[in-house]
Amino acid sequence: MRILGIDPGIAIVGFGFIDKQGSKLTPVQYGCIQTEAHTPEEERLLHVYEGMVQLIEKYNPDAVALEKLFFNRNVTTAMSVGQARGVLVLAAVQKGLPVAEYTPMQVKQAIVGYGKAEKRQVQEMTRMFLKLQAIPKPDDVADALAVAICHAHSYTLNSKLNEVLRS
């Protein structure tokens, strides 16, 4: 199963593709889509959408996992990120992909085992899970890979629960 993890944003969209074979997780490709500051928001959203469509077409994931929007004090930023998140979901759904969402606390719990873990702990565990030489940069990329790993773990658990419920 190939999973695309996404850390949504308007300036930087982190993405990470991982393959899950049994309990083995292998990184396929990761990076970010960046938009230029001081560019009209509609152009930035188009760039994010087109970039994600190209990535989906190239790496052909089976599922998409996004970090749920975390509202902070800056409403303008939250609105822009929400719009970017919308075009990212649209790109996935148009390609017929199932989309799962995880809160930052769920991702931390899945990666570190503690929902209030520090960002650095999550990044280091992500690096270890995927046997990477270094923590991916910028942080948005490491976050996207963590979301993909969270989905891999959740998918396995949910599959087993469904088997038990069907028996």
Q: What is the pLDDT of residues 38-93, one digit of tens each?
A: 999 999 999 999 999 999 999 999 999 999 876 666 666 778 888 999 999 999 99
Cβ-based neighbours of 85, under 8 Å, separated by 6 or more = 8, 66, 69
Q: Is 139 annotated as a binding residue?
A: no
Domain regions of the chain by residue span: 2-166
| pTM of model > 0.85 | yes
Q: Is 124 annotated as a binding residue?
A: no
* Contact of 143 with 111, CB cutoff 8 Å: no
Pick the CATH number of 2-166 from 3.40.50.620, 3.30.420.10, 3.30.460.10, 3.90.550.10: 3.30.420.10
Q: Is 19 annotated as a binding residue?
A: no
Maximum separation of any 2 CA atoms in the chain, in Å: 57
- 145: exposed, middle or buried (C-beta count within 10 Å: 0-12, 13-18, 19+)? buried
Write the pLDDT tens digit of every residue in 56-69.
Answer: 999 999 999 999 87
Inter-helix orientation angle 104-112/119-129, to 10°: 50
**Letter for the amino acid at 155?**
Y
- Catalytically active residues are 7, 67, 140
The DSSP annotation for 47-61 comes to: HHHHHHHHHHHHH--
